[in-house]
Amino acid sequence: MNRTKSYSILGFLTLLNTLNFIDRQLLSSFSNYIVPDLGLTNTQYGILSGLAFIIFYSIMGVIMGAIADRVHRPKFMAFGVVLWSLLTAVSGMAKNFWMLFLPRIFIGIGESVLTPTSLSFLSEHFPRKNMGFVAGFYYLAVPLGVTLSFYIAGFLGPVWGWRNCFYALGVLGFFLAALMLLFKETPKREDAIKNKTIKHVITKKIFLESIRELRIIIKESYQLRMTIYGSIAVHFILGALAFDQLWLVEDKGFDRAEILIISGTIGLPAGILGNLFGGIGSDYYTKVTGKGRKMFLFWCLLIFTPFILLYRLTDDTGIIFFSMMFLGFFQWGCLYGPITSSIQELAPEKNKALVLAYYLFLTNLIGIGLSTTAAGIMTDILIANNVENPYSITLLAFQLLAALCLPAFYLAGNASSLSAKD
């Protein structure tokens, strides 16, 4: 395998994923602009950030994963980028809740293509022992995308307005989709899909076959089930973080443009370091201890969770507060490489995209979709009852719920080490 070619593929797919997370984060970054402009309640905003996007992202992700295991993956990814970019641009025309609700549905469908297909594609260009690093590098897109979204909202929002920013990102997506078409499928996959059309792939028989295979895989792998359960739990807080910028402005009293820039400046190095630490660190931890990436996740979360709770509880808005913000972004970055590479390791070769799509389905639908919507409802109830610091209370509650991931990752890690000994 040509290393230069492999790393160029990894770099470009990370770039696409960065655009993906910029797009996904835009609504949250511009929340202090969009909510008052469209007259949204916290519940409506929670639905737009959560279920409107996540339901279709999650459900279609399983279907897209099944398709991705059977088609030309670079072309399939280009299709996904075109779809979400078009609807991002359309979102900029929204005048009310419903005009933003409908594009969010199709953005979710478009984005559901990328990650299962990308990681399946990458697994054929890198050895298994390096997949922690590969997944960690791919998910550098999270801090990069989130940070760039903060900067776009903080610097360009006051000048261009949120609508023009949405239009510009839609155009950028079309350009990157065209570049994606320059990449070739692996020879192994080219032979497998030769003379097949999309009609051969999207059939009831193949879909039902994929579901049957998935049920068997999940039933037979205790480690996989525990890893997915832990991932669902940790995503409770990741979903509620859609209200983070509202919390910083409404409860903490920061200026909306200033705190976006501060968040980006802190989040970028913290997230990058966290992703590299999570990817490379989990590879090293697994090699040295033989206990697997799940146990690595357990220790990371156990160590950092108390500091994240302090971040929500402190009245300080100085060095302590921003230090805790740094640790929060760092911990967030640590998660993606170990989790996704664990899922890839536990999935059969021919079903990697399908299993990863199933993982994304559950973590996004339950972990992010429901938690984001529930956080919006909870905040509106607290505001209606004149409770002080409603956003603080909501985010603290969901942070505590996320701690349920600890026993799940511990059990998955122990199962992994027992299997290695056997």
Mind listing the pLDDT tens digit for each residue in 87-115? 999 999 999 999 999 898 888 888 888 88
As a whole number of angstroms, the distance between CA 254 and CA 206 comes to 53
As a whole number of angstroms, the distance between CA 257 and CA 151 comes to 9
194: pLDDT confidence band, cut at 50, 70 and 90?
A: low
Q: How crowded is the C-beta side of 322, counted as CA atoms within 13 Å?
A: 13
24: pLDDT confidence band, cut at 50, 70 and 90?
A: confident
Residue 408 and residue 297 in contact, taking contact as beta carbons nearer than 8 Å = no
Residue 47 has pLDDT above 60, yes or no: yes
Cβ neighbours for 92, distance < 8 A, ≥ 6 positions apart: 162, 163, 164, 165, 166, 167, 170
Lowest mean pLDDT among 87-101, 110-124, 380-394: 110-124
* Mean per-residue pLDDT, 286-308: 86
In degrees rounded to 5, what are phi and psi of residue 161?
A: 90, 155
**For residue 15, what pLDDT is reported?**
94
Radius of gyration of the chain (CA): 21
At 316-344, the pLDDT tens digits run: 788 889 999 999 889 888 887 788 888 87
**For residue 177, what pLDDT is reported?**
94
* Mean per-residue pLDDT, 134-153: 85
Burial class (CB in 10 A: 0-12, 13-18, 19+), 94: buried
pTM, to two decimals: 0.71
* Structural element, H or E, at residue 416: helix 405-421
Q: What share of the chain is helix, strand, coil (3-state, %, to 5)?
A: 85, 0, 15
Ramachandran area for residue 290 (φ above 0: left; ψ -120 to 50: alpha; else beta): left
CA distances from 379 to 40, 88, 169, 403 (A): 13, 27, 30, 21
Residue 295 has pLDDT above 60, yes or no: yes
Which class does domain 3-183+202-421 fall in?
mainly alpha
Residue 417 has pLDDT above 50, yes or no: no
Residue 130 has pLDDT above 50, yes or no: yes
As a whole number of angstroms, the distance between CA 11 and CA 212 comes to 34
As a whole number of angstroms, the distance between CA 201 and CA 68 comes to 9
**For residue 418, what pLDDT is reported?**
41
**For residue 420, what pLDDT is reported?**
40
What rounded mean pLDDT belongs to the chain?
Answer: 84
Residue 201 has pLDDT above 90, yes or no: no
86: pLDDT confidence band, cut at 50, 70 and 90?
A: very high
Residue 20 has pLDDT above 70, yes or no: yes
In degrees rounded to 5, what are phi and psi of residue 144?
A: -65, -45
CB neighbour burial string for 163-179, b if at least 16 within 10 angstroms, e if fewer:
bebbbbbbebbeebbee
Q: Count the residues in the chain.
A: 422
192: pLDDT confidence band, cut at 50, 70 and 90?
A: low
As a whole number of angstroms, the distance between CA 325 and CA 247 comes to 13
Residue 172 and residue 296 in contact, taking contact as beta carbons nearer than 8 Å = no
Residue 73 has pLDDT above 80, yes or no: yes
* Mean per-residue pLDDT, 140-153: 87
Name the residue ranges covered by the structural domains of the chain: 3-183+202-421
Number of helices and strands (H, E) in the chain? 23, 0
Distance between start and end Cα atoms, the chain: 32
**What are 194's two structure tokens?**
């030769």
Residue 68 has pLDDT above 80, yes or no: no
**For residue 316, what pLDDT is reported?**
79
Of 224, 226, 244, 222, nearest to 234 (Cα)? 226
165: pLDDT confidence band, cut at 50, 70 and 90?
A: very high
Of 284, 330, 380, 335, nearest to 46 (Cα)? 380
As a whole number of angstroms, the distance between CA 143 and CA 394 comes to 23
**Helix crossing, 222-240 with 371-384: angle to 10°?**
40
Residue 287 has pLDDT above 70, yes or no: yes
